[in-house]
A and B are shown apart, each in its own frame.
Chain A
Amino acid sequence: MSEQEYRHIPATGLAGQTGASAGLITCDICEALCCTHDEAATHCPICGATLHLRHKDSLTKSLAYLVAATILYIPANLLPVMQTNTIFGTQDDTIMSGVLVLMYTGSWPLALLVFFASIVVPLLKLFSISLLLYTCSKKSTWNPLQRTQLFRMIEAVGRWSMLDVYVVTVLVALVQFKSLAAIHPGGGALAFGAVVVLTMLSAQSFDSRLIWVAKTHE
């Protein structure tokens, strides 16, 4: 984002205050400014969308999805995502071995891309959300801008881990030549798909406004 895109806000009136302290909230959908002191959900008077000054139990919900995702991450990497039956024998592929096969037989840029989408991104998501949940529960003042940017990044790249699920889907659909060659999906693919969905839900339930809530009155 370039500097000229910034619009500095005149420091008069309400500017500089937070919505929670002023009792103001802007509707996500219609941008109407609504005035509420209710911490629980209210409805936008214009479009009826649900508004929250703070999402209720955001940290707890996010943590629950995160724990489920972390547990499923283990079978997702250990179990085979697909099984190739050919006349030469049977071969099981995990997420990691799929990347290695692609690196040796295919092209390494594509292997790097798959490595990033299916190994780096899920790990990064699990670590980042844990970090955010920990710092927000402590109301830490540590680098709020960087933490917001981290959150923005994991929200943007998180979906790309679905890549492996789609690769398995396409291969299973195409390679069905009876005894000659056939590919079947493995349990790892199911666990991996679940990890992607659960980490997405975890990030969605996290309320990024909590990053900026600092501990007051020492």
Chain B
Amino acid sequence: MPYFLDFYLTLHHNVKPAIKPAHHFIVCHECDLVCADVPVATGEAASCPRCRAILYRNGTASVDVALALAITSVILLLLLNCFPLLSLKVQQVTRDTTLFHAALAMWDDGMHILSLLVIITTMLAPTLQISVAVYLLYVIRFGDAGLALGAPLRALQTLRPWSMVEIFMLGLLVSLVKLQHMADIVIGPALWSCASLIFFTAALTSVLTPRNIWLWANAAKASKAATGVSHV
């Protein structure tokens, strides 16, 4: 896929252009086998014949669907962070907690590193992940798709394993069961937004593959060029 190959080659002279796009190859990331990059039917995936890793998928999602998913995730993330997750009532005393206060309680109890770990995995990583996704999709949809998309894409790949909202949700359910004998529990609005956020981010992640991003970016560039020509 030679996007701006010639220009960059002057900058990175130790990387030479490989093969003409006419005979496309893809090197498997998991086992290093050189595979042919053949077109697959819509909705299908191509996998490595040796290690069965999925090389690429021919999805049907459009950039608008992805943007809608990302914006919904932003709203759900705000709800998750602003409202209490659970409240507990023991003899006229009610105690509720938001996500941030839960992490803060750990900090106050002297577990600073653990508190930071919770903040990073349940607040920082998901927030960064969703904002980078919104930025990427916004740039492709409304902005200049020729902008550097490499860095945000790399950030997305790095952040992905560290965003653990779905595990936190399971942790909430386990805590619920553990507490049910102790006191009256009221489920807060943030718990529901947490549950729905999982589905939206999972959908977003499956749609936001590097291949889709470059396809959308190229399509946006092409349509822009086409309209530009027609105006001149």
| Residues of A in contact with B (beta carbons under 8 Å apart) | 1, 4-10, 13-20, 22, 24-26, 28-36, 38, 42-49, 51, 101-102, 105-107, 110, 113-114, 117, 144-145, 148-149, 152, 155, 159-160, 162-167, 169-177, 180-181, 184-185, 189-190, 193-194, 197, 200, 204, 208-209, 211-212
Which of B72-80, B170-178, B221-229 binds A?
B170-178
| Residue contact A185 to B106, C-beta cutoff 8 Å | yes
B144 is an interface residue with CB less than 8 A from chain A: no
List the A side residues contacting B151 at CB < 8 Å: 47-48
CB distance from B68 to the nearest CB of A (A): 24
List the A side residues contacting B49 at CB < 8 Å: 6-9
List the B side residues contacting A148 at CB < 8 Å: 30-31, 51-53
| Residue contact A193 to B117, C-beta cutoff 8 Å | yes
A-B contacts, 5 listed (Cβ < 8 Å): A17-B33, A30-B214, A45-B15, A110-B177, A145-B51
| Residue contact B167 to A15, C-beta cutoff 8 Å | no
Which of B39-47, B59-67, B126-134, B195-203 binds A?
B39-47
| Residue contact B118 to A165, C-beta cutoff 8 Å | yes
Interface size class of B (residues with CB under 8 A): 35 or more
| Residue contact A167 to B175, C-beta cutoff 8 Å | yes
Most buried by B among A7, A18, A48, A176: A7
| Residue contact A185 to B167, C-beta cutoff 8 Å | no
Most buried by B among A30, A113, A144, A193: A30
Complex: chain B residue closest to A201, CB-CB = B161
| Residue contact A33 to B19, C-beta cutoff 8 Å | yes
User: How far, in whole Å, are A176 and B93 apart by their CA atoms in the complex?
Assistant: 10
